[in-house]
Every structure is written in C-alpha cells, then in structure tokens.
Amino acid sequence: MRALLQRVSHANVIVDHKEIGRTERGLLILLCAMDGDTEDEAVYLASKIAKCRLFPDENGKTNLSILDIQGAALVVSQFTLSASWKKGNRPGFSAAADPETAKALYHSFCKKLEAAGVPVETGEFAASMQVNLSNEGPFTIWMDTQQPT
C-alpha cells in the first residue's frame, strides 16, 4: 500500500458540493492499494501511522504521534498514487489493485486505524472528490509498504 500523509491543522473532502468528511488537527492520508497488497499491508500501515512521531512537542521536536496529540485522520482513497510515469507522457495506473480489492483494503485500513485509537473520517471510494487542506509545516511523508525504508 502507498500512503501520502500530510500533517494538517484542518482538512475536508467534498462530494457533489456536500462535505462528507473532515478533520481538525491531525493527518490527511491519501491511500492507494497496490496490486498484490493484502490485509497484512493494511494492518501494518495503520499500526505504523498511528504510532509514527509526526507532530512537534513543546520544544518543536517531532516527537509526538497522532495518538499523543489526540488528533484525527481524514483518509481519502487515491489510486493515482500508483502512477508509473517514466514511459511516455501519460501516467499509467496498472500497478493499482483492482477496484474490488482496493475498496476492501481501504475500508480495512480505516477500521484498523480507528481500532488503534485514531478517530477516522473518510472520503467516498471511487468518487470525484474535492479535498481541501491546510498543511502544517508543510510536513508531508510518503509511505510504501513494498519499499518500507
């Protein structure tokens, strides 16, 4: 799975002119299930994100997790994180999981993150969404379970 985490002071997602998800201080997580991903990747990534120290402490050091700050997450599916862009001029998305698998893994990831103690709001899988955010820092982290370094 691939995830792009953005530390936010607030973020929301709109579908058909209606807000369907929002968070105040916490994370906007753009999530893509890749071909070959399983439940194991969803569990691993949710656990890692819940504990990852992404927020500043009282001294400005990045020492606090989303759990420590009692933050929340807005999780939005984004298959375009699978883009292959080196060949030609149009990105290809064939490395993404098929829609049925991707949807199941997206929902599983959200449930696992919530079970870890992080309040979760979501976008709408496969919908055209408008995502708004105020990125703190800016602070953005790329995670890929197929390349965990």
The residues assigned a catalytic role are: 78-80
> C-alpha 53: how far from its chain's center?
15
Strand 130-144, strand 2-15: pairing: antiparallel
- Please name which of 68, 61, 73, 63 lies closest in space to residue 26, comparing C-alpha atoms: 73
Q: Which distant-in-sequence residues (6+ apart) come within 8 Å of 71 by Cβ? A: 23, 24, 25, 26, 27, 55, 118
Question: How many residues are present in the chain?
Answer: 149
- What region does 145 belong to: left with phi over 0, alpha with psi -120 to 50, or beta? alpha
